Chains A and B, each alone.
Chain A
Amino acid sequence: MNLLLVKRATVATLFVLAAPLSVAQYDTMSAPEKGLAIAQEADRRDEGWQDSSATMAMVLRNRQGQESSREMRSKSLEVSDDGDKGLIIFDEPRDVRGTALLTFSHKTGDDDQWLYLPALKRVKRIASSNKSGPFMGSEFAYEDISSQEVEKYTYTYLRDEKLNGLDCFVIERDPVDEDSGYSRQVVWLDKAEYRVHKVEYFDRKQSHLKTLTFHDYKQYLDKHWRAARLEMINHQTLKSTTLSFQDYSFADGLNERDFNQSGLARMR
């Protein structure tokens, strides 16, 4: 669960086209080709972040407006030939403080996930097939916050559209994994920087389930765009979750050794 949504507001690493696509090159493509090319370009533009760390705060709201909060820290490691590696350390609520989750995401197939339970000092491998389950009781599903590898979807370009005054591509992406809770997602990316601004999630019955919007983008290392705030609204339950990121830091020299089971048990 690399928090990639955030980490790279769209899509992930891949062997990439050597040169950036010019918008003109899209003209000759079919809608699926163009959708894929846009996803690959967004991915290519975010390559080279090496590793990143951030603190995360979640506010969960039920339909009566009652709130509860979550605090976490995340660390991620860019892996060029496979999905990225991620660590999340839970700080709040206090009963799960010290719990940590290690994820090796993969471009295809299930991710590998280990959970550290501090009360027992136990590292437990957990089944990662539960992609559609809620993360920490929030409106974010595990698959929403996991590494958004290009290969996890098939794509179709839908249209160009203005969103909040920005020229955007609108593409549809369909999860390859049968365990996904979604039939499809509709994604708005701005043409200038290929940042994701909005995602609409459709459930297996093709009903509009959730909408995610990205706010307060900031650029790091003159290259990597990260949103400081994400708003997820569930249209069926009317519950919502705000996910905020702070203290972003990149290329701190984290390495593979920080992302194994021994390192997981050390996380504080």
Chain B
Amino acid sequence: MRSLFFLVTLGSSCALAEFYQTLETDLQFELRGYTQDAAQDQQKDFQASMALSPEWYIEWGGGDNSLTATAFGRVDSADDERSHADFRELHWQGVRGPWEVRFGISRVFWGRTELLHLVDTINQDDALENIDGEDKLGQPMLRLNYVAENGGSTRLFILPYFRERQFAGEEGRLRPPVVVDDSNPLYESGAGQQHVDWALRYQGWLGGLDYGVAWFSGTQRDPKFIAGDIVINPGSTALAPPAAGVIQLAAMNSNLLTPASGELLSLRPFYGQMDQFSIDAQYTGGSWLWKLEALWRDEFNRRGAATSPEIRSRERYTAATAGLEYSFYGVFDSASDIGVLVEYLWDERGLNRGSGFQDDVFIGARWAANDAWDSALLAGAVFDLEVESQFYSIEYSRRLSGSSKLSLEARVFHNIAPADSNFFAVRFDDYLQLEYNWYF
């Protein structure tokens, strides 16, 4: 793929006339302290890390051709797995009238809602960065975009290589009690990581309505878990597959011993296939924003189901999130704005088969000072209406100078029910984070 990449770029640079280029770097220092004792002895209570992200951009032909390269790397004091690097962007883009072609590694965003990016499918989560689903790994792609006169845009994606999710290591927090061994995942497709996924999306707008419809066919971005390494107990004659419920339990409870098979030392990711249709929309009227994301998914998990009784060979389901945002401008006789957000999250699979946002409400408030420092605060709470688990989050940021910024983040898991398995695993991982960004 690399050689083809260079051919394309060389071919177009013959017509090169006038260059415009930029090189920008974001250096970030992060301190994170966990306020509760860890569930596992190996897990650290404090981590300091540093991330560097340089971006080089060059265009010629008045923007008809461009190259973008964005690298990202982090070094973490506590967790070796969180020390990681990635190309967020490494692509050529050409624009010819209504056509836009992008070839290489890139990031795209689909969606409207604030808490959960339900329909944002193309890029794998960079789960090591944050739990908010907003950091993504670069995805190799060929993207064709046709933009109609009315601004409506039809986008075809060919995705020739799959990015595996990475997980925190033994010493890291925000992970299941049994570590995930991401070095050897199981794929539904015989092509494994080389399975060619594709997607088609149309997005447009009409008056106050912005909307998108999308089809995706390919490898599921969210892995399911099957048993990884197992230590056979003395006396056990064969390596039997773990009994039903074991994986589920392993995700919540360490030192799991099942007399028949042994002790589960690690989890192995399984990536099934899926077809997915999704819609997303936002209606903007006055100070109101109405938001909706919904998907219909058909999963194919035959090989996973053969390994774990908890995985269904074929599963069809619907999930949705919808909500609103209302803004009050110039509150308290100041320049400040306050936005109030409410979103409802639903997943047909129920409590512990999917995202965990199966019957949840998110209530949040956004405060923007509109001052010279761009001070802003976002506070929110998620309530699981079924089992009453709660999640709280506060984010504050302000600019320090023209080239630096300070951010604070606090996340709290409260009263997490064992049945809320995604969150039960991380129930002791409340944290406070201080982040300093320097741009040069």
Contacts and interface: CB of A to CB of B under 8 A. Distances in A.
A132 interface: yes
Nearest to B405: A95
Contacts, number: 103
Interface string A248-267: 00000000110011110010
B107 interface: yes
Contacts of B374: 93, 95-96, 137
Nearest to A253: B62
A97 B329 contact: no
B288 A127 contact: yes
B337 to A, nearest CB: 6
Interface stretch (B1-9, B92-100, B176-184, B423-431): B92-100
B284 interface: yes
Most chain B beta-carbon neighbours within 10 Å: one of A68, A95, A119:
A95
A122 interface: yes
B287 A97 contact: no
Interface stretch (B147-155, B165-173, B220-228): B147-155
A127 B100 CA distance: 28
Query: Range of interface residues on chain B?
Result: 35 or more
A225 B382 CA distance: 54
Contacts of A260: 147, 151, 153
Interface in B355-373: 370-373
Contacts of B284: 112, 125-128
A242 to B, nearest CB: 14
Given A94-B402, A137-B371, A256-B149, A266 B107 contact: no
A111 to B, nearest CB: 11
A181 interface: yes
Interface of A: 60, 62, 68-69, 92-97, 110, 112, 119-123, 125-130, 132-134, 137, 181, 256-257, 260-263, 266, 268
Given A129-B286, A137-B370, A261-B203, 19 more contacts: A60-B372, A62-B372, A93-B374, A94-B402, A95-B399, A121-B107, A122-B111, A125-B289, A127-B284, A127-B289, A130-B287, A130-B337, A133-B335, A133-B370, A134-B370, A137-B373, A262-B151, A262-B153, A266-B93
30 contacts: A93-B401, A93-B402, A94-B402, A94-B404, A94-B439, A94-B440, A95-B404, A112-B208, A120-B109, A121-B107, A121-B108, A121-B109, A122-B109, A126-B284, A128-B284, A129-B327, A130-B337, A137-B374, A257-B98, A257-B147, A260-B151, A261-B153, A261-B203, A261-B205, A263-B147, A266-B63, A266-B93, A266-B95, A266-B100, A268-B66
